[in-house]
Amino acid sequence: LANSFSANPNHSSLKLPDLSKTESRFLSWYDSAAPIALEHVALQDPLPYQEDSDQLASSNSDDENDDNGRQLDRRLVTYAAKAFPDELGSKNRAEKALKRGELLFNNIERVEGCRRIKRGDILTLKQSLPLPPPEKKLQARMNFIGHMLENGLRTLYEDDDIAAVYKPSGVHTKHASNFRYLAFEDALPAILTPPSSQIGSDRLPLPIAVHRLDVRVCGLVLVAKTRSAMISLSNQFEYRRVHKRYEALVIGRPEPSLNKETEDDDDVEKGSFLIDEPINVEGRGLLNAQTTLRVLSTIDHLHWGALSHVDLRPKTGRTHQLRIHCAGLGCPIVGDDLYWKMGDDSRQQQRNGKNVGEEEIVPLPSVRKGQGGLYLQSVGATFVHPRTGVEMTIEAPVANKFNMLLGRARRANEYDTKTAPAA
- Contact 248/376 with Cβ under 8 angstroms? yes
* Pairing assessment for the beta strands 290-301 and 285-287 based on DSSP bridges: unpaired
Decide if 345 is catalytic: no
Any idea what DSSP says for residue 263? T
CA–CA gap between residue 344 and residue 138 (Å, rounded): 46
Q: Which residues lie closer than 8 Å to 420 by C-beta, 6 or more apart? A: none
CA–CA gap between residue 383 and residue 309 (Å, rounded): 25
Catalytic one of 73, 214, 265, 344:
214
- Contact 223/209 with Cβ under 8 angstroms? yes
The phi and psi torsions of 131 (rounded to 5 degrees) equal -100, 140
DSSP string across 58-97: H---SS-B-TTSPBPP-BHHHHHHHHSTTTT-SHHHHHHH
Q: Which residues lie closer than 8 Å to 14 by C-beta, 6 or more apart? A: 8, 154
Give me the sheet containing 122-127, strands edge to edge. Answer: 36-41, 122-127, 103-105
Q: How far is CA 356 from the centre of its chain?
A: 44
Convert 226-247 to b/e letters by CB count within 10 Å (16 or more is b): bbbbbbbbbbbbeeeebbbbbb
Residues labelled as active-site residues: 214
